[in-house]
Structure 1
Amino acid sequence: MAKLYFRYGTVGSAKTLNLLAVAHNYQQQEKKALLIKPELDIRFGKNNIKSRAGLEKQADLLVNAKTNLLSCNFKGIDCLLVDEVQFLPSHLIDQLREITLKENIPVICYGLRTDFRSHLFPGSKRLMELADSIEEIKSTCHFCHKKAVLNLKHLDGKAALDGPSVQLGCEEKYFPSCFACYATQLRKAGLSTTEQMATLPH
């Protein structure tokens, strides 16, 4: 049976660069990797999958909440690579899991684990529950030299907890952060403690 992989990291951890490297490796071996991305991600163009390093490829399949992946023809496909998987609804994660069983095709998903409030995205939560392999793509805190584990949102030069969890095209507002720096930045902005954050609505 093929496996379902979840490779997660904070903002700026080269998740998409990793995906494109895997796609390149499949291409070099004359194998076919199908690239999937959420339809709502139009930051670099409707069909583009692009890393901050400048590398890019065209997505083969755009998905939204109405997509039925189980009706797609994956004949001749050796691997599914999913970018920005945190934006997928949980039922599409269930379908990806089923594809590994029915089609015996490995599925490798890349994305954020949590939003700027430290809450799991629905797609990421389902992957944490279903994936055979969960791997962290490590990065460094923007404010110190420790490992980043959270995504801190800044507005007008200070930490913020307001706004929607999904806000594309605003990467300059988000910073990879260790938990200590995340908490410090929130305190400086006069915002909630960790205990209070847990009750904030999405």
Structure 2
Amino acid sequence: MSKVYFYYSAMNAGKSTVLLQSSYNYHERGMRTLLFTPAIDTRVGPGKVKSRIGLEAEALALQADEDVFAHVKAAHAAQPVACVLVDEAQFLTRKQVEQLTEIADQLRIPVLCYGLRTDFQAQLFPGSAALLALADNLIELKTICHCGRKATMNLRVGPDGRGVKEGAQVEIGGNDRYVAMCRRHYKEALA
């Protein structure tokens, strides 16, 4: 039976790097993968997965109303797909996560999703909440706070470098806007 996997972490844990390595492993064995990323994430251009260490690959940019199951079913009918990989999975809709479960259950293709668990206010993203509820396997990727402890929180910082407490849940950014921290230092940064 194929499964849905959710690899989650705070910022800067190497999620995109692990996704690209997984895809490479399939390709190295002559198997086809399909890569997806939500269209809302435009940091490196539409339809790209890129890691901070420089690895990158083309991906299909998904709009929130797109049916990922239909994309994969059509692609699989044309040429077998061995694995589906999704970057920035926190931005998926619940419906899209449900479609990913159908890819695993009906098409029998494993689905590997990578994303943040929570936002800058320690609230679950819709895609992450759905994956935490529906994925077969949950795998935490670890990164560290500046103190050396495991980072589990994502601090949003303003132009002045200070922690931000309020704002829209989704504000696309990288190291310029977010810092991974342990819970203690996250709380101190917002005090």
Q: Give the TM bin, normalised by the shorter chain.
A: over 0.9
Q: Distance in 1 between matches of 2:153 and 2:3?
A: 27
Gap regions ≥5 residues in structure 1: 188-202
Q: Is the 8 A contact 2:6 2:132 kept in 1?
A: yes
Identify the match of residue 152 of structure 1 among 145, 150, 155: 155
2:36 alignment partner in structure 1:
36
Could you tell me the TM-score, scaled by structure 1's length? 0.88
Once structures 1 and 2 are overlaid, which stretch shifts more, 130-139 or 153-162? 153-162
1:80 alignment partner in structure 2:
84
Following superposition, the deviation at residue 177 of structure 1 comes to 0.6
1:100 alignment partner in structure 2:
104
Give the counterpart letter for 2:156 in structure 1.
K
Distance 1:22 1:170, change over 3 A: closer
Following superposition, the deviation at residue 48 of structure 1 comes to 1.6
Following superposition, the deviation at residue 14 of structure 1 comes to 0.5
Residues 68-147 of structure 1 mapped to structure 2, 5 A cutoff: 68-72=67-71, 73=74, 74-75=76-77, 76-142=80-146, 144-147=147-150
2:27 alignment partner in structure 1:
27
Q: Deviations over 1:43-92 (max 9, x none)?
A: 11112210011111111x22112111232212300000000000011110
Q: Deviations over 1:133-168 (max 9, x none)?
A: 0000100013x1100011011111211112211111
Following superposition, the deviation at residue 114 of structure 1 comes to 0.2
Pair 1:183 & 2:187 matched: yes
Q: Distance in 1 between matches of 2:33 and 2:69?
A: 17
Number of aligned residue pairs? 185
Q: Is the 8 A contact 2:153 2:180 kept in 1?
A: yes
Following superposition, the deviation at residue 39 of structure 1 comes to 1.1
Runs in 1 of length 4+ with deviation above 2 angstroms? 69-72
Q: Distance in 2 between matches of 1:159 and 1:62?
A: 30
Following superposition, the deviation at residue 100 of structure 1 comes to 0.6
Residues 30-69 of structure 1 mapped to structure 2, 5 A cutoff: 30-59=30-59, 61-69=60-68
Give the counterpart letter for 1:11 in structure 2.
M
Return the index of the structure with the highest Cα Rg.
1
Q: Distance in 1 between matches of 2:127 and 2:55?
A: 25
Following superposition, the deviation at residue 169 of structure 1 comes to 3.3
Q: Distance in 1 between matches of 2:13 and 2:119?
A: 15
Identity %: 41
Give the counterpart letter for 1:121 in structure 2.
F
1:191 alignment partner in structure 2:
none
2:12 alignment partner in structure 1:
12
Give the counterpart letter for 2:22 in structure 1.
V
Could you tell me the TM-score, scaled by structure 2's length? 0.93
* SS of corresponding position for 1:171: coil
